[in-house]
């Protein structure tokens, strides 16, 4: 074996070890995100459009739905319990959103649903970060839902600090 081929083998070995380490680290991070996803419910609000008025309306609907959700989730101790409470009250949550839309002078429909396997990017809060990945979400769609979105964590209740920002 020549010196050149020995050097090439070392590079190949180093590359393979690096790939193996990256795969192990990726699997560990994916497992951590999955464990976290089992403990939280995300909130995802989609505006009718990107117009300034529809974006402002999105925040009003968010606030109305969160106000009602806060009362519903006050005693929830687990994600499963929070999900069951929200599922039982989807129509009243949609009604709260529709009321905010009507009060603002619009007639957009508001749909509220619980959806599994919604993709969210990494979200950095003051004290921690939620990794990107698939989560269950309380999804609020205003009108066509073609506008920019807004998201946070509805359980445990981390949205309330965001609402006052």
Q: What is the per-residue pLDDT across 32-54, written as a single tens digit (0 to 9) for each?
A: 455 677 889 999 999 999 999 99
Q: Mean per-residue pLDDT for 109-122?
A: 94
Question: Which two three-digit tokens encode residue 9?
Answer: 């083998």
Give the per-residue pLDDT at 63.
Answer: 95
Report yes or no on whether pTM surpasses 0.85: no
- Which H or E run contains 118? strand 110-120
The Cα 126–Cα 160 span in angstroms is 13
Label residue 89 by pLDDT band (50, 70, 90).
very high
Label residue 160 by pLDDT band (50, 70, 90).
low
Give the per-residue pLDDT at 27.
Answer: 46
The Cα 108–Cα 144 span in angstroms is 8
């Amino acid at each position: 074996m020549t010196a050149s081929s020995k050097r090439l083998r070392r590079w190949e070995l180093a590359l393979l070890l690096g790939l193996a380490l990256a795969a192990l680290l990726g699997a560990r991070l994916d497992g951590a995100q999955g464990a976290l996803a089992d403990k939280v419910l995300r909130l995802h609000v989609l505006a009718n459009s990107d117009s300034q008025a529809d974006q402002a309306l999105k925040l009003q609907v968010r606030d109305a739905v969160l106000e009602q959700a806060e009362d519903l989730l006050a005693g929830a101790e687990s994600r499963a319990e929070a999900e069951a409470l929200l599922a039982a009250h989807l129509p009243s949550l949609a009604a709260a959103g529709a009321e905010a839309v009507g009060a603002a002078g619009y007639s957009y429909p508001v749909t509220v649903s619980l959806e599994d396997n919604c993709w969210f990017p990494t979200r950095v809060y003051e004290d921690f970060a939620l990794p990107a990945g698939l989560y269950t979400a309380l999804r609020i769609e205003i009108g066509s839902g073609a506008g920019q979105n807004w998201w946070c964590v509805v359980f445990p209740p981390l949205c309330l600090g965001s609402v006052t920002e």
